[in-house]
């Protein structure tokens, strides 16, 4: 995937800075994201570009800023370049194990975690996963909460997880924290949270055929009739 930079986009940035992309220095306009800086310098990004909105997690990147030896992780479509920054996209695929399970057949979702992801209980509290997360999630704490059965809190903590996988290669216990959290969130929603009463009532009404005649009438309408029917009543 490659997105050309328009003259208006480039012209909006007056100052030029120097960045290092995969070990090579480039001069780019200030104010570009990492991903746009790569497009600006002619990199054809075939992998590592997705929604460009910070949701899909495809553009996981590692970078180091000027005069800072620490490596940091980010989403390239959301992080602005800085003068002296060095970065690259994490094109590598991490061969983590994705467990297969059927939530409808699991009797105790919390105990089943230790069969599906037994390595989850081996967390060493090193906090490397949290340090690697570009979304600022306390991943280590989330894994521990999953182990101790607090699936509701795990679901809340990982709402911003984009499954970029940055937490996987840094784990010394070979845990895939994002998949552990995904299981906990799915189990919480499907098995451990009572459905709203109004939703349960409406599902029962639909199953009983209460709205069948109305649905048949709507399906028989043409486009003009649908427009009229969609108008709010006065």
184 and 108, same domain (yes or no):
yes
pLDDT band at 1 (very low <50, low <70, confident <90, very high): very low
pLDDT at 88 > cutoff 50: yes
141: part of which helix (H) or strand (E)?
helix 139-147
In the numeric block, which tokens belong to residue 93? 């695929």
**CATH classification of the domain holding 75:** 3.10.20.30
Instruction: Tell me what the pLDDT averaged over the chain comes to.
Output: 90
DSSP notation for 76-100: TTTPBP-TT-EEEE--PPP------
pTM of the model: 0.72
On the question of pLDDT at 49 being above 90, the answer is no
Residue 135 has pLDDT above 90, yes or no: yes
153 and 188 inside one domain: yes
Say how far apart CA 152 and CA 188 lie, in whole Å.
Answer: 6
Distance of CA 149 to the CA centre of its chain: 23
Q: What is the CATH number of the domain that holds 112?
A: 1.10.1060.10
Whether residue 33 has pLDDT greater than 90: yes
Provide the number of structural domains found in the chain.
3
The pLDDT, as a whole number, for residue 12 is 53
Q: Has residue 97 been placed in a domain? A: no
**Domain region containing 27:** 7-89
Share of the chain above pLDDT 90, in %: 76
Q: How confident is the model at residue 2 (pLDDT cuts 50, 70, 90)?
A: very low
Is residue 63 one of the residues assigned to a domain?
yes
The pLDDT of residue 98: 80
pLDDT (0 to 100) of residue 13: 53
Sorted by sequence, the CB contacts under 8 Å of residue 79 that are 6+ apart come out as 33, 34, 61, 63
Beta bridge partners of 187: none
Q: Residue 17's pLDDT is what?
A: 97
132 three-class SS:
helix
Render the burial of 33-51: b for 16+ CB within 10 Å, e for the rest: bbbbbbbbbebebeebbbe
Q: pLDDT for 93-112, tens place per residue? A: 677 778 899 999 999 999 99
Give me the DSSP letters along 212-228: HHHHHHHHT--HHHHHH
4-23 mean pLDDT: 70
Contact 112, 100 (CB under 8 A): no
Give the closest residue to 163 by CA, choosing from 69, 70, 82, 60.
60
Q: Bigger pLDDT: 69 or 139?
A: 139
108 and 184 co-located in one domain: yes
Q: Has residue 35 been placed in a domain?
A: yes
Name which of 111, 109, 107 is nearest 121 in CA terms.
Answer: 111
């Amino acid at each position: 995937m490659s997105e050309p930079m328009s003259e208006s986009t480039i012209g909006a940035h007056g100052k030029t800075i120097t960045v290092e992309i995969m070990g090579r220095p480039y001069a780019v306009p200030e104010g570009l994201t990492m991903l746009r800086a790569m497009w600006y310098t002619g990199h054809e990004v075939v992998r590592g570009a997705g929604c460009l909105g910070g949701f899909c997690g495809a553009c996981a990147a590692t970078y180091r800023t000027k005069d800072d030896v620490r490596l940091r992780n980010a989403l390239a479509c959301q992080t602005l370049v800085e003068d002296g920054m060095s970065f690259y996209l994490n094109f590598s695929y991490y061969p983590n194990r994705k467990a297969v399970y059927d939530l409808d057949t699991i009797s105790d979702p919390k105990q089943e975690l230790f069969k599906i992801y037994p390595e989850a209980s081996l967390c060493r509290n090193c906090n490397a996963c949290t340090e690697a997360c570009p979304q600022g999630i306390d991943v280590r704490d989330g894994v521990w909460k999953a182990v101790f059965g607090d699936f509701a809190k795990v679901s809340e903590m990982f709402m911003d997880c984009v499954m970029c996988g940055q937490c996987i290669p840094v784990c010394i216990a070979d845990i895939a924290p994002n998949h552990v959290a995904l299981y906990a969130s799915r189990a919480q929603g499907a098995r451990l949270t009572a459905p709203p009463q109004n939703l349960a009532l409406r599902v029962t009404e639909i199953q009983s055929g209460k709205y069948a005649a109305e649905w048949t009438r709507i399906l028989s309408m043409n486009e003009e009739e649908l427009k009229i029917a969609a108008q709010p009543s006065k």
